[in-house]
Amino acid sequence: MISVVYFFYLQDDSKKKKLSCILSFINYLVKFKDQHSMDGISSSKFEKLPYTLHHRFTEMFDVTESRRLPPEKMNLLISYVLVLTLFSDDFRTDYRDIAKDLRMATLTLRQIFEHLGCKFISSEKVSYATLPIPLTFPQIRKRKKNKNKL
């Protein structure tokens, strides 16, 4: 995720505090995902989330009695994690690290980044997902009607 070196070079304490809060929130989202995934990853089964966050996540992602997240809510949670990761890393992040944290295939995560509007660049054997600012979406092209057609 975010480079630890970058974090320590921040001079402004308010930026450090904001960044540490975002990273903690990402960590809690990943733990919540692990607890409510199909196999309920054993390493996160007994980890306790703060009550307020657990309650908020349960309401946001509509956790049922089966304790499994519906696929559309799982995708929403993953999208939150990716957007927060991009925001914390100046809109450029190594998606392979995030794939490991989320226990997902790199190709699947790459497709989600593409749906979010990210572009991919490679530098020094590392691939990055970048979000161009301002965000522009592809234009829908309309077909012109051929008036000369009989």
- pLDDT tens string 28-45: 888 888 887 765 555 555
Separation between Cα atoms, residue 66 and residue 52, nearest integer Å: 21
pTM of the model: 0.72
Q: Which residues in 9-149 belong to E strands, given as ranges?
A: 92-93, 119-123, 126-130
Separation between Cα atoms, residue 107 and residue 45, nearest integer Å: 27
Q: What pLDDT does 135 receive? A: 60
Indicate whether 95 pLDDT > 80.
Answer: yes
Separation between Cα atoms, residue 13 and residue 113, nearest integer Å: 30
71-81 confidence digits (pLDDT tens): 788 888 888 89
Amino acid at 74: M
126 pairs with which residues across the strands? 123
From residue 104, alpha-carbon distances to 11, 20, 29, 38, 109 in Å are 35, 24, 15, 13, 7
3-state secondary structure of 92: strand
